[in-house]
Structure 1
Amino acid sequence: MTALLRRSGLALLLLPVASGGSASIVQAQQPTDPQANTQRVTLVAMGVPLQEALEALIDRTRIPLVYDNALVDGRTAFCRVDREPLEQALACILRGTGLDYARLSSGTYALILQAEEAPRWGALSGEIVDAETGAPLVGAHVILVAAETGEPRGVATTAAGRFALPHLLPGARRLVVSHVGYQRAALVIDVEADQTERVVVALNPEPVWAAPIVVSGLERQTLAERLGEDLLARDALTATPPANPSDPLAVTFLAPTPVTPDVGRSLDAIVGVRAGEALSDVHVQGGAVSEHAFRLDGAPVLVPVSLGGLIGPFSPFALSRVVVRKAGFGAGHGSHLSGVIEAESVTAPPAGQALTAQLDPLALNVRWGGRTGRPEAVEGTWALTARQGLWGVFKPPTLASRLQSWTAPDGFLIEQLGQPSVPDAPEGFPVELRFTDAHAAGQVRLGGLRSLHGSVYVAQHGFGVEDVGPDESPADELYENAYRWTNGTGQLRVEWVQGARAFAHVGAWMSGYRLRRPPALGGGESGNTVGTVAVAGVRSGVDIALSPNHWGTAGVEVIRYDGAQPFEWPGAPPAAGNGSLGWSVAGSAEDRITLGSATLTLGARLTWLPERQALYAEPRAALRYDGASETMGPWAVRLAAGRYLQFLTAVDVADGGPAPLVPDVRYWLPLPAEARPPEAYHLATEVLAEPTEGWTVGAEAYLKHQPHLLVPNYGGTDTPLAAADGLAYGLALRLERRTEHLRLAGTYEYAVARQRTPNRFGSDWTPAPWDAPHRFRDALDASPLARL
């Protein structure tokens, strides 16, 4: 039986004029037993008041339904069913109203408040890249705005240019992406329940004309995240002007520079980092040169003879940026006593510079690169960089004269240690300086937010006095005091987004060198000494978003070391450093929680040495806080502490040659069986404030207690290494003013480094050779015109 419901003499269509909604028609077949739930109901209700829809259902089906009028008041029904059972029709009417029904034992239906269901979440993950090069953009700001509420939610991209936003309610969202030097991008994302939306956003470059600067800290969301590390951008490494994207040939010949670009000298601009004079190396916050790691794309760079201040280990044109991590660095960055210097390769040329060349006093630098795929969707990029020394073509007179003066043999040492074959030359000998290096790097986007990254670096160097003697002298009577070495690194890794919450990576790397050096006076056999080192590792890791304010990271690395590198001095053990082999397995984990303006990071490293059957732990912690006040403006503070060990020991051994041309030679070897790992404890703090627009004030302080170090045992004959302890502490103040065309900065640093070695200098504390207590620096960058 079918009937039309009527109201006030009219067919009950529930017209909008009467009810504020669309028409509702209820047709019901009258069963003899309404409780049997065998009725079939056809119902259309669009915006009908819930009470009217229920009354119509009761009137035509005689369903025993009871409810409180106050419970249904103000609720609206949206429903459409076609010949469905009675209970399904009732459920359809109640859908979306927040009400539910319960059938009592008597058969009566009662309306109740619906139990709140757990929300069904969606998620968004993606990658932000340069539209022209395909390179990932670090620290890009990703803001997601809910369409219905306008409530924003933001995150910054990782070092791989990736981001993740879990726990999103379904619905339309507006995604806004921005980065300094790029045009802002906006798009609409439809988030679905139980689904992860994946996007790749390519930002178009928007040149910002400014003088090359050194940026102190990564530009991320908050001031606090700029603390604890410093960044050298590509322009600061090479001191080159911005590219011209309109160049149709994309070929750039840069003007010759009066100074050879060097990574070490560029790092000297960072607070807490000191690059020594002449052939010395870089020191990080009072640490020895052997106490920090220098990595290229995650692989350690092993350079046995430092020519820092003269030429760097590779061309700066091969690098996109260098990050220095100082006291209190996190568990995921390794086991080192002082700090970590991480260089990243250029994987694509800048826009408008497919081919770049520059001539400096000592070398010719060339970089060539390209990309594959459409401009709006780059699939792969690559860059090749080469550097060729020009010493054989042109020797700068002043530099050549200075180096020659350092080759004059020391008559006293020769007489005391006995080396009659060394000729007498008070003015020294001509020096040869040869170097060639090549660097290749690239990345490929594999789809599905996966990418493949790889790089290879190889270099050959020669430095010193080669084959000097009277004319027509036999080869075995010629004097030689030269160092020749070949070194290189290589790495390959895959990165991907795992679900809505995790970034993962896995890769392998290798590094090594081969050194041929002259023997030490009185310390070895005649002829050259050859040393080789090879280190390789496999690394994997994952970053997980446990919640919007809770992140976890974990990683595992297996390292194998193989080396034969005898180092010697008068009275040294005969086989010091020879034939070493070692394995290590390290794991790291960090938990980062943000509570309001504070972020707490707790982490630890665990390292297993199979040869020793020993496990070592390195707990670490850091606290960051962001604040603001009327007088100081936005400000941030960082506190960090931890334990730091070093398992691949780097030892700088004073050169025992007849001349002071090369002050020392560096050797790498695994931890000796009889020695415990070098150990240090860090305590660091840093404050940054921006009191007014354009002004930045910063301060940092550190304390490093080193209860156990390993140093060359020059006076011993039983073991090549001796135990020592050290202490380093310092304070730095920085003031900076920026305007549209001007940057003015001033820095004061106070630093102390002390060491104590038993049986040396009365076992007293003595200043470290690199100790520099006071240091003032100022910098002025001006660009009076937009392109000057």
Structure 2
Amino acid sequence: MHHPARVLALVAALAVGGGVCAAQTAPPTAWPEPGGAELTWTDAPLADALYELAEATGLELVFALRLVREVRVSGRYRVGDDPDRALRLLLRDTGVRAERVRHRQYVLIREPLGVREGDGREAYTGTLDGRVVDAETGAPLWGAHVWLVDLGLGSVAGETGTFAVPDLPTGTYAVRVSHVGYQAVRLELDVFPASPRLPPTLRLQAETVETPDAAVVAGPEAPGPAPGVTDLGARQAAAVPYALGEGDLSATLSWLPGLSRTGGASGALVVRGADPSRTRYVRDGVPLYEPWHAFGLFSAFQPEALARVRFHRGSLPAPLGGGLAGVLDVETTDALDGDTARVVGLGAVAARAVADVPLGGAVGVHVGLRRSTLGALLEPGLRLDGGALVLDPTGGRAPGGPEPTVSFDDAAVKVSARLGAQARVDVAGTLGRDDVAVDLDALDRPAPVRPGPDRPALGRMAYGWRTSTLSARYRALYGSRTYLTATAYRSGHGAREERDMAGGAEDVEQTLVDVGVSVGVEHVRSLRHEVEGGVQVAARRVDGADAGGVAAQRATEVAVYAVDTWRPWPSWQLQPGLRAELVADGADVQASLSPRLFARWSPDARLVVRGGVSRQTQAVHRLRGSAGRYDLAASRWVLAGARAPVAVAWQGGVGAEWAPSAALAFSADLYARRSSGLLEPTAPAAADPGVDLDGLLRQYAPHAGRAAGVELAARYLRGPWTLGLSGALARADVRPEVGEPTGGAWRPSRYGRPLTLGLLAERRAGPFTTAVRLDLESGLVRPDGTREGAEVRASAAVGAGLTLLGLRWTALAQVTARPVGADPAPPAVAADGLPLATDARGLPALPLVTLTARW
């Protein structure tokens, strides 16, 4: 029997320098006969499985033998199944992907993984391809036009309906597909690795063309990343092996220039020197408050559970509000969209599981669970340092010292259902929990803080944090030009601090609840104009109780926005927008008008120049204690209203992304920000700030802020190697606003780092991936205004994958060294109070292993 797949494989192997032993491969097993027979592979060589699949389906597969050597797979194909889908499932998690050449013919290439700067266009190149057919008959539509509206180029479908636009930088593209006598459509298509799916089949509905402007289908997403947006796929977010092997999203983002973390190697995300509380987090359209575990050791987002990660830094588009520094917007995977994630993992920090399960063709369920395993391998440590209790979740317990407990867990559930052909509804909920308990009397304390006649025993102290969301979202396409999204949600965050002392118990509790509804409409007016508008209403309350009594705050925020995406020329995109906001606290009303403008110029596929300016507001303040390089566990929420200002920032920036070749790419950004109404501490924070608003505002005062910087990044690919550089020169300052006793002098902001530089080298060889990362950062600012010494931190990781028992296993070992140059200066806090603080400088210098199974 003549095997076309074998012949093509042999030719490809000779052409690219692969092995020439294709004819020596073991012959395939007996082929399934029609009528329901199937092929089953269990830990089989990938080459053999590809040969057998080609014979059973008629697919022509071209590949180099060296590409699949030593790769083993498990799977099944039943006669009658979709062969394209069978090929996709067979190649899943193998490091190999299929590029469609023409109908039923594919070339197999290595699957590139990695983090992408900007909108990802500089990292790799690929082919945007697919097939255009009649929706009713399935007949190929020869001559159909496929146009990439942002780039001004396209293709014409051949006689089989297939099209291909080669050599495109990877990313998401707005595509218009049209054919005479058919309804034109507008949609977004991905060039791998932005999407792991095989090329799609586009089905056009027949219609009579009545006007020059054909009907266009509006989608739920903007037609391509807006200027200043980082758009990451979930696989790229999971690919960087840092943060305890958990594939932490915040560790991935912190690689981008201008982004860092409060503790250097861990902690909350810092955007261009701004306090982490000035970055807004959104999950499936719902605001999420404090999405961190173990004092910011890593984020509450499991990377395999994320279908899309979009990070807006600097200027924001008009539909987004509530963040002065940026917005992190994530979408959960969805079985209705074809996601089939099934993951279980066990590591030194947590055990976790993610699953997307379709229930028939109209309902899908997403479930994500995680439970901490701290204490099994890594022991939390506690020490007394300068009058503060310093807790390191992975630092280890001192001999004879106290045994603090740190535990956390989270859960996410989403149920999605189709309501007809053009509408769907999603009902989702998330829960997160962190608990810390400390026996204070087990500490070896110096004389000033030992129990005595005038000082009771310190007893036990416990902290607990809870985060939750509950939402329902409706999305529908009306006609062929209008897309509606309506969301109702409840989001909350609560904190409880308990001190059980010999002199009595002291409890402090505070909760933030945000209940809101939003309605957004996108309408395509023509090929050059797409308009969007909407209304967002949020009712917030903060309730608290301590020894001083009960405190409560109430505020309502209403926002109305409008955006016009305009393409005056093929290489230009302009996006003017306006956002009007009103914040009401009883009789006190604060209104503001925030204009925004973005521009993008892309003369060809390899160069993108972008810029924007916007006014942004934030009506929720999170007050953090000032303790040098320590973060105090006690922090409070304050709502803007009669006694607290709405924070405002003007931001502007320009940037460019240039890929002179498929292997080399650069990006550069220049930005500036000016802020007002920032609540900053005027003195070292007290041990217990309480919950009374007047008392809090005596410790914090409105400040002005300014920031500016230049950010650079480069990426070079050569064979199995990926080399990356990321760096920024920046300055961020704050000062009391007019009338403050300091006279309004500028001082460095707490989290500003004038210099950050990162170097990354990654090599992929067969089933193994090895990565080394070196970071250099300026030290943080001490409470007295001086700066700590520069920090140098190194990380290394080795990963390996194999197929066993029908599962794809991934093992990862990594080590992150404590930073060189970290200043051990004690925090400026009172000795009497013994506030709980955390020191998240990084991970202990010992190998940490995690094991993950996927199927």
Does 1:273 find its partner at 2:259? yes
Please tell me the residue identity of whatever aligns with 1:774.
L
Match of 1:689 among 643, 646, 658: 658
Match of 2:601 among 613, 617, 625: 625
Once residues 411 and 151 of structure 1 are traced to their aligned partners in structure 2, the CA distance between those partners, rounded to angstroms, is 71
Partner of 1:782: 763
Once residues 342 and 719 of structure 1 are traced to their aligned partners in structure 2, the CA distance between those partners, rounded to angstroms, is 31
Does 1:755 find its partner at 2:734? yes
Once residues 608 and 295 of structure 2 are traced to their aligned partners in structure 1, the CA distance between those partners, rounded to angstroms, is 35
Match of 1:357 among 333, 341, 344: 344
Once residues 561 and 175 of structure 1 are traced to their aligned partners in structure 2, the CA distance between those partners, rounded to angstroms, is 38
Q: Is the 8 A contact 2:307 2:331 kept in 1?
A: yes
Partner of 1:191: 207
Once residues 182 and 308 of structure 2 are traced to their aligned partners in structure 1, the CA distance between those partners, rounded to angstroms, is 39
Partner of 1:512: 492
Please tell me the residue identity of whatever aligns with 1:649.
H
Once residues 546 and 500 of structure 2 are traced to their aligned partners in structure 1, the CA distance between those partners, rounded to angstroms, is 9
Does 1:589 find its partner at 2:559? no
Seq. identity, %: 20
Match of 1:609 among 554, 569, 583: 583
| Alpha carbons of structure 1 residues 520 and 667: separation in structure 2 relative to 1, 3 Å | farther
Partner of 1:676: 645
Please tell me the residue identity of whatever aligns with 2:378.
P
Match of 1:561 among 540, 553, 565: 540
Does 1:182 find its partner at 2:201? no
Matches within 5 A, 1:66-77: none
Match of 2:746 among 765, 773, 782: 765
Once residues 130 and 482 of structure 2 are traced to their aligned partners in structure 1, the CA distance between those partners, rounded to angstroms, is 17
Does 1:263 find its partner at 2:249? yes
- Comparing 492-501 with 316-325, greater Cα deviation is found at 316-325
Asked which structure has the greater RCO (Cα within 8 Å, sep 6+), the reply is 2
Once residues 162 and 466 of structure 1 are traced to their aligned partners in structure 2, the CA distance between those partners, rounded to angstroms, is 56
| Alpha carbons of structure 1 residues 142 and 452: separation in structure 2 relative to 1, 3 Å | farther
- SS for the counterpart of 1:404 is strand
Partner of 1:437: 410
Match of 2:373 among 390, 399, 413: 390
How far does residue 751 in structure 1 lie from its aligned partner after superposition?
1.6
Partner of 2:235: 235
How far does residue 263 in structure 1 lie from its aligned partner after superposition?
2.9
Once residues 141 and 545 of structure 1 are traced to their aligned partners in structure 2, the CA distance between those partners, rounded to angstroms, is 24
Matches within 5 A, 1:385-534: 385-392=368-375, 394-397=376-379, 400=380, 403-405=381-383, 408=384, 410-411=386-387, 429-466=402-439, 468=441, 479-518=459-498, 526-534=505-513
Matches within 5 A, 1:616-655: 616-628=592-604, 634-654=606-626
Please tell me the residue identity of whatever aligns with 1:782.
R
How far does residue 735 in structure 1 lie from its aligned partner after superposition?
1.5
How far does residue 176 in structure 1 lie from its aligned partner after superposition?
11
Q: Is the 8 A contact 1:144 1:174 kept in 2?
A: no
Please tell me the residue identity of whatever aligns with 1:516.
R
| Alpha carbons of structure 1 residues 412 and 271: separation in structure 2 relative to 1, 3 Å | closer
Partner of 1:368: 355
Please tell me the residue identity of whatever aligns with 2:750.
P
Q: Is the 8 A contact 1:651 1:711 kept in 2?
A: yes
How far does residue 588 in structure 1 lie from its aligned partner after superposition?
0.9
| Alpha carbons of structure 1 residues 320 and 565: separation in structure 2 relative to 1, 3 Å | farther
Once residues 714 and 130 of structure 1 are traced to their aligned partners in structure 2, the CA distance between those partners, rounded to angstroms, is 62
Partner of 1:744: 723
Q: How big is each residue's C-alpha offset from its partner over 1:34-86, in whole Å with a ceiling of 9 and x where there is no partner?
A: xxxxxxxxxxxxxxxxxxxxxxxxxxxxxxxxxxxxxxxxxxxxxxxxxxxxx
Gaps of 5+ in 2: 1-83, 90-118, 121-127, 135-140, 151-171, 390-397, 444-450, 685-693, 770-855
Q: How big is each residue's C-alpha offset from its partner over 1:143-174, in whole Å with a ceiling of 9 and x where there is no partner?
A: 98997976544569xxxx99896998645879
Partner of 1:310: 297
Partner of 2:33: none
Partner of 1:346: 333
Matches within 5 A, 1:126-205: 151-154=145-148, 170-171=181-182, 179=190, 180=192, 181-184=196-199, 185-187=201-203, 189-193=205-209
Match of 1:331 among 318, 332, 346: 318
Once residues 185 and 614 of structure 2 are traced to their aligned partners in structure 1, the CA distance between those partners, rounded to angstroms, is 41
How far does residue 559 in structure 1 lie from its aligned partner after superposition?
0.3
How far does residue 455 in structure 1 lie from its aligned partner after superposition?
1.9
How far does residue 786 in structure 1 lie from its aligned partner after superposition?
7.8
TM-score by length of 2: 0.60
How far does residue 580 in structure 1 lie from its aligned partner after superposition?
0.6
Match of 1:286 among 258, 261, 273: 273
- Comparing 273-282 with 592-601, greater Cα deviation is found at 273-282
Partner of 1:52: none
TM-score by length of 1: 0.65
Once residues 729 and 532 of structure 1 are traced to their aligned partners in structure 2, the CA distance between those partners, rounded to angstroms, is 35
- SS for the counterpart of 2:252 is helix
Q: How big is each residue's C-alpha offset from its partner over 1:650-692, in whole Å with a ceiling of 9 and x where there is no partner?
A: 2223589xxx985243433321303431111101111011212
Once residues 748 and 717 of structure 2 are traced to their aligned partners in structure 1, the CA distance between those partners, rounded to angstroms, is 38
- SS for the counterpart of 1:579 is strand
Matches within 5 A, 1:242-257: none
Matches within 5 A, 1:113-124: none
Q: Is the 8 A contact 1:451 1:496 kept in 2?
A: yes
Match of 2:701 among 710, 715, 722: 722
Match of 1:546 among 515, 525, 534: 525
How far does residue 369 in structure 1 lie from its aligned partner after superposition?
3.0
Q: What do you get for the CA RMSD once the two structures are aligned?
A: 4.4
Once residues 223 and 286 of structure 2 are traced to their aligned partners in structure 1, the CA distance between those partners, rounded to angstroms, is 29
| Alpha carbons of structure 1 residues 511 and 718: separation in structure 2 relative to 1, 3 Å | closer
Q: Is the 8 A contact 2:133 2:203 kept in 1?
A: no
Once residues 430 and 369 of structure 2 are traced to their aligned partners in structure 1, the CA distance between those partners, rounded to angstroms, is 10
Partner of 1:205: none
Once residues 206 and 404 of structure 2 are traced to their aligned partners in structure 1, the CA distance between those partners, rounded to angstroms, is 68
Once residues 410 and 341 of structure 1 are traced to their aligned partners in structure 2, the CA distance between those partners, rounded to angstroms, is 36
Once residues 529 and 722 of structure 1 are traced to their aligned partners in structure 2, the CA distance between those partners, rounded to angstroms, is 22
Once residues 768 and 176 of structure 1 are traced to their aligned partners in structure 2, the CA distance between those partners, rounded to angstroms, is 43
Larger radius of gyration: 1
Partner of 1:101: none
How far does residue 317 in structure 1 lie from its aligned partner after superposition?
4.1
Partner of 2:667: 698
How far does residue 273 in structure 1 lie from its aligned partner after superposition?
1.5
Once residues 546 and 174 of structure 1 are traced to their aligned partners in structure 2, the CA distance between those partners, rounded to angstroms, is 13
- SS for the counterpart of 2:567 is strand
Q: Is the 8 A contact 2:439 2:461 kept in 1?
A: yes
- Comparing 535-544 with 484-493, greater Cα deviation is found at 484-493
- SS for the counterpart of 1:783 is strand
- Comparing 342-351 with 453-462, greater Cα deviation is found at 342-351
Gaps of 5+ in 1: 1-128, 202-217, 242-255, 414-424, 569-573
| Alpha carbons of structure 1 residues 482 and 677: separation in structure 2 relative to 1, 3 Å | same
Once residues 704 and 238 of structure 2 are traced to their aligned partners in structure 1, the CA distance between those partners, rounded to angstroms, is 38
